[in-house]
Structure 1
Amino acid sequence: MTTTFHKGWYLIYTKPRHEKKVHSRLNELQINSLLPVKKTLRTWHDRNKYIDQPLFPSYIFIYLNNMQNYYDGIDIDGSLYYVKTGKQMAQVSEMVVNNIKLITDQVDELEVSDDRFQPGRKLVIAKGALTGLSCEVVEFNNKQKLLVRVDLLKRNILIALPEDHFIAL
């Protein structure tokens, strides 16, 4: 890590299926973190059950206030490393983290895509739980979808909202 430290959101890469354990341990250490999940119906031979699955498998967003948080985060069993671009730890925009929080708290039906999207129409949500959110709307599978870009992970979150929920900027 470089000698200059900047407070903010970063990403930890975890061992497969260790996201919840690492997230729980970060909470115990009172380190702010985000593990966005979606409800998925799983089928076993004797039952069906909805479970929470990470939106971004093996990734946890962590807010680092100081170097101690940095070391505590990486020392947790299941944490492998901080995501970097080159030799620098990659910082995640506060706006991206806030959009992910807002969407995962308010919307049940969403999907994650690694497709590349051309810039979409810039709109504002006028109705519903996401009222006031500036967004980008793209065409996906012949439907208008709200798009949240998570460039660092090369992923996008897509949400279907009725057309009458949007107003042009």
Structure 2
Amino acid sequence: MNPGSLIISNHPNVTIINLIMKITEGPRPGQFPGKDGHAFIDYQNWYAIQTLSGCEKKLVLTLQILLKKIQLYLPTRKVIHQLKGVQHIMELPLFPGYIFVYRSISESLDALDKADARIVFKPVMANGKYLEANKNEMKFLFEVTGEGGVIELSKGVVMENEEVLIIQGPLKQLKGKILFIDKRKNKAKVRIEFMNRMVEVSLGLEILSRPLPKVQ
């Protein structure tokens, strides 16, 4: 699959900003109305497409242009970066270089091929077939990223023994998956499942304060 010539920024009457906004509009990916009136999410039939790191959003926008009814999922995470002594909150892909597509994996690849899209892409496969994401893996991702598809910052305090106590945020759910916490860089390294393998990702952690020393 070779890079082609579809230039997103030249799409008629649609700006990049408008397209980015469309990612979060409407119901959540894979969400459908249930018989009882309550919406439910289908955690099956999800596939991953790989692209270059940093091109995830461009791939999402490209597919949204080519296939109007496609359902895509780009889970992200908030992290804290320090630049010249100032802390900045950034939102980055949870799995750099990957997006999820619901059901329409063949249609997505065909559309990208026919459009000769100027973007590198390839499906995640196993044994010559498109690899479907594990149902429990997708359920976990949707739960931890919430309605907005974002893993928000967690909050913690440094205890007297220098250990960090997580008091709020998604890291409370991920206690058993935390490998280590870097207090200086405001991040926690966790191990989670992605396409039937374990990967390590860094999540943002805001250190609120140190507890007051006990009065002797």
Question: Match of 2:60?
Answer: 23
Matched, 1:108 2:152: yes
Quote the offset at 1:81 in angstroms: 0.6
Q: Alpha carbons of 1:44 and 1:78: their partners in 2 closer, same or farther (altered >3 Å)?
A: farther
Retained in 1: the 8 A contact 2:76–2:92?
A: yes
Unaligned 5+ residue runs, structure 2?
A: 1-43, 155-167, 182-189, 204-216
Q: Alpha carbons of 1:85 and 1:31: their partners in 2 closer, same or farther (altered >3 Å)?
A: same
| Corresponding residue to 1:33 among 55, 62, 72 | 72
Q: Alpha carbons of 1:153 and 1:23: their partners in 2 closer, same or farther (altered >3 Å)?
A: farther
Question: Match of 2:199?
Answer: 155
Question: Match of 1:98?
Answer: 139
Quote the offset at 1:57 in angstroms: 0.7
Q: Distance in 2 between matches of 1:52 and 1:80?
A: 22
Q: As a proportion of its length, which structure holds more strand?
A: 1
Using structure 2 for the length normalisation, give the TM-score. Answer: 0.47
Quote the offset at 1:100 in angstroms: 0.6
Q: CA RMSD in A?
A: 3.9
Matched, 1:89 2:130: yes
Q: After superposition, what is the alpha-carbon deviation per residue over 1:113-136, rounded to whole angstroms, capped at 9, x for unaligned?
A: xxxxxxxxxxxxxxx999xx9x99
Q: Alpha carbons of 1:56 and 1:66: their partners in 2 closer, same or farther (altered >3 Å)?
A: closer
Retained in 2: the 8 A contact 1:12–1:79?
A: no
Q: Alpha carbons of 1:12 and 1:103: their partners in 2 closer, same or farther (altered >3 Å)?
A: same
How much identity, in percent, do the aligned residues show?
18
Q: Distance in 1 between matches of 2:136 and 2:118?
A: 29
Quote the offset at 1:84 in angstroms: 1.3
Secondary structure of the structure 2 residue equivalent to 1:40: strand
Retained in 2: the 8 A contact 1:15–1:80?
A: yes
Matched, 1:68 2:107: yes
Retained in 2: the 8 A contact 1:136–1:148?
A: no
Question: Match of 2:121?
Answer: 80
Matched letter for residue 51 of structure 1 = M
**When the two structures are aligned, how many residues end up with a matched partner?**
132
Largest Rg, 1 or 2: 2
Using structure 1 for the length normalisation, give the TM-score. Answer: 0.57
Q: Distance in 1 between matches of 2:130 and 2:47?
A: 7
Quote the offset at 1:26 in angstroms: 2.6
Unaligned 5+ residue runs, structure 1?
A: 1-6, 111-127, 160-169
Q: Alpha carbons of 1:57 and 1:129: their partners in 2 closer, same or farther (altered >3 Å)?
A: closer
Q: After superposition, what is the alpha-carbon deviation per residue over 1:22-59, rounded to whole angstroms, capped at 9, x for unaligned?
A: 12223343321111111122333485432211111111
Retained in 2: the 8 A contact 1:40–1:53?
A: yes
Question: Match of 1:59?
Answer: 98
